[in-house]
Amino acid sequence: MHVEQLYTNCLSEAAYFIADENEAAVIDPLRDVDVYLKKAQEKGVTIKYIFETHFHADFVSGHLELAQKTGATIVYGPGAETGFKVHVAKDGAVFTIGNLKLEVLHTPGHTLESSCYLLHNEAGNPYCLFSGDTLFVGDVGRPDLFSGNKTKEELASMLYNSLHKKIIPLADNIIVFPAHGPGSACGKKLGSQTTSTIGEQKQSNYALQEMTQEEFVNTVTEGLSTPPVYFPINAKINKQGYDSLDEVMNRGNRALSIAEFKDVVKTGAWILDTRKATEFTEGFVPGSISIGLEGRFAEWAGSVLPYDRSLVLVTEEGKEEETILRLARVGIDKVVGYLSGGYDSWVNAGEKIDMVIDIEPDELAMDIPHDKRLQVIDVRKPSEFEAGHVRGAVNAPLDTLNDVLNIAKIDDENNLYIHCAGGYRSVIAASLFKRQGYHNLRNVLGGFAKMKDEKAMPLVYPEGLV
């Protein structure tokens, strides 16, 4: 028996590869499926099944890609309706993988079709639970992510029943393999680990503690942040289908001369610059949006880039293919090429450039008392802002700035000082402001993490001014 977790940090996503004898199965695969094909080849096994725990909203699954390349059957839980051929399993159905058995546990709540898969080992004993977004380490799946016409309270009630009827009765020694880890927006606050056991979760997971159904519903639905804007788009793609990754790569992995690059931009294409944030601020092609590959790239790309526009890329040389692939993971498929030679070729040709001025927190602290037009723009999440911020700062969360109207509410006559927690999100935000014609702006290096150590900085915390 071979059970392996394949974790992708930038999406906080876990896929699983199971093999026994000459058969294998993959659970919740990413769109780039070569890793699963390679593992199957290395182990000399045939991928027989592709199990989906639910319709994912935070990434585009590789179920169709993998099925097309292996002939494996795609399996969803009860109630799933798709635009392509799948096997919709009944609650309690059992599938064999070599000498192993995988049992379907229908656990609606996160979504209506959500299902967990209980793996029985060669001896027939329950060994591990692939819990999808029903149960995380320290959390449970949020019940407000676009499932049917149910309210979040109705879905939370379903989740309560699923946990109490299907999960809590399981033996304490069963390993829990969830679909996501820390940083995922599919829960409220996932724990730091990506595996656990049923026993550990019964002790430490707030959602598995003794409480009434009404108390559970109130607890699980309280404090939910607004889900990323691309979630319903990805859920729809996963239900209806998509172009093959090979087609997407062939369209996008195309070098463009400066003249060709300009022509595509004139037709309405957006420019995406994936170099490091620190390189972007020093100089970039005017109109570019910065989303560095070094951060939670796919998540922010899905949150701020339009799905209905073509994209052209400016990347570090050799990073073109990686960029297209990581965009495709969240369904951004309209890349039509990249600038040949990258940003250096643009500069060497004498083309016009733009830049963002970086400043240290101490400079901001000195400017605040004297600049009457100074406006601090904090692009962190509301919960981060509420935990502590600069006095008088405007909270403009980054995922709201893809709406031009939200940017327009900020006075372009002010001197804008933009910051986030550490410096990655603020550069994305600065590029969005630049694209909309704002130029009186500064990027605060190190973000709030560094600003709070500046003694002269006027900070407000829940307990008052510091």
pLDDT recorded at residue 405:
63
Three-state secondary-structure class, residue 290: strand
pLDDT recorded at residue 464:
59
pLDDT recorded at residue 225:
84
CA distances from 461 to 377, 433, 466 (A): 17, 27, 7
pLDDT recorded at residue 194:
97
Q: What is the pLDDT of residues 294-346, one digit of tens each?
A: 989 999 999 999 999 999 999 999 999 999 999 999 999 999 999 999 999 99
pLDDT recorded at residue 402:
76
The structure's pTM equals 0.92
Pairing of strands 335-339, 126-132: unpaired
The pair of three-digit structure tokens given for residue 218, joined into one six-digit string:
């109130």
pLDDT recorded at residue 327:
97
d(CA 279, CA 284): 8
pLDDT recorded at residue 466:
52
Q: What are the structural domains of the chain? A: 2-233 (3.60.15.10), 243-348 (3.40.250.10), 357-465 (3.40.250.10)
Amino acid at 129: L
d(CA 91, CA 162): 12
Q: In terms of Cα–Cα distance, which of 405, 459, 462, 407 is closest to 432?
A: 407
pLDDT recorded at residue 20:
98
Three-state secondary-structure class, residue 193: coil
pLDDT recorded at residue 325:
96
Q: What is the pLDDT of residues 204-214, one digit of tens each?
A: 999 999 999 99
Per-residue pLDDT of the chain (466 residues; tens, 9 = 90+): 999 999 999 899 999 999 999 999 999 999 999 999 999 999 999 999 999 999 999 999 999 999 999 999 999 999 999 999 999 999 999 999 999 999 999 999 999 999 999 999 999 999 999 999 999 999 999 999 877 789 999 999 999 999 999 999 999 999 999 999 998 999 988 999 999 999 999 999 999 999 999 999 999 999 888 888 899 999 999 999 999 999 999 999 999 999 999 999 999 999 999 999 999 999 999 999 999 999 899 999 999 999 999 999 999 999 999 999 999 999 999 999 999 999 999 999 999 999 999 999 999 999 999 999 999 999 999 989 999 999 999 999 999 887 766 777 888 899 999 999 999 999 999 999 999 999 999 999 999 999 999 999 999 998 755 5
Q: What is the DSSP string of 72-116?
A: PEEEE-TT---SS--EEPPTT-EEEETTEEEEEEE-TTSSSS-EE
End-to-end, the C-alpha distance of the chain in Å comes to 57
* CA-CA-CA-CA torsion sign (311, 424, 432, 8): positive
pLDDT recorded at residue 379:
97
Tokens 């694209």 belong to residue = 435
pLDDT recorded at residue 404:
66
